[in-house]
Structure 1
Amino acid sequence: MEPEIAALASTAGTTIVTLMATDAWQRTREGITSLWRRVHPARVEAVAAELDAAHEDLLAARTTGDPDTERELVAEWQGRIRRLLTACPEVAEDLRTLLDELDTRTTTVPVVVQQATASGNSRIYQAGRDQHVIER
């Protein structure tokens, strides 16, 4: 199960750090601390404080344009999750469930509907983002 643990820890670490800068942060924090509570209840407060510190570090790094800090935080949380899963593999399913919940909350895509009608020699240009039209 080691490769599976490593893959899950990699995904979880990246997701945790990514969500630190979103509206889903509190739910993410609660979910991660609840996993620790099951395995290492005495360390929950320390983990919560470390999550909060990482959250502050990430926000500061994004403000200053420091991508290294974000990469370091991802690697740090990937390692922490891997060690948690190695110590208690039965929480892997709970972690997968949490990641699935967080994914559905953060990946809502806005619906964009475009409609146009052309007649004669008309032209229609539609774009969902940047558009550059050069007519010659």
Structure 2
Amino acid sequence: MNHLYSTRVRAVGGRSGTIRSDDGILDMALAMPRELGGKGGATNPEQLFAAGYAACFENAVIHVTRGTDNRVGDKDIEVETEVGLVPNEAGGFVLAVAMDVTIAGISQEVAEQIVAAAHAVCPYSNAIRGNIDVATTVHTR
């Protein structure tokens, strides 16, 4: 498979360790959230997933509107993504995602169509489809 882009990140020490990308741009400590009994004070995998999904989804919205009458620019969209860790029946855990999307300058109906189209092309949406519940709310301003 031809990759358009590929990156590599090394994690050491699990949820209380460190992460570092192969180019060194991402280089930080991790900490178990206080809500899970940890010390907090550093990022965690759920925050990183929420950040990546929000940024990627914003770009998917911009992508699907290129060449249309409803073109969305960088400053026209805001995505807030909440990632929750939920226990499952097997004694493990699953993720739940709530995504709040706000798009400026278009009608509610068009915004909802754009968000649906973005879910079809966003790599994160495609990766988790059928495995993680994603509740999406769409707003206009």
TM-score (norm 2): 0.28
Larger strand fraction of residues: 2
Looking at secondary structure, tell me which structure has more helix per residue. Answer: 1
- Relative contact order: is structure 1 or structure 2 higher (C-alpha 8 Å, sep ≥ 6)? 1
- The structure number with the bigger radius of gyration is 1
User: Structure 1 length normalisation: TM-score?
Assistant: 0.29
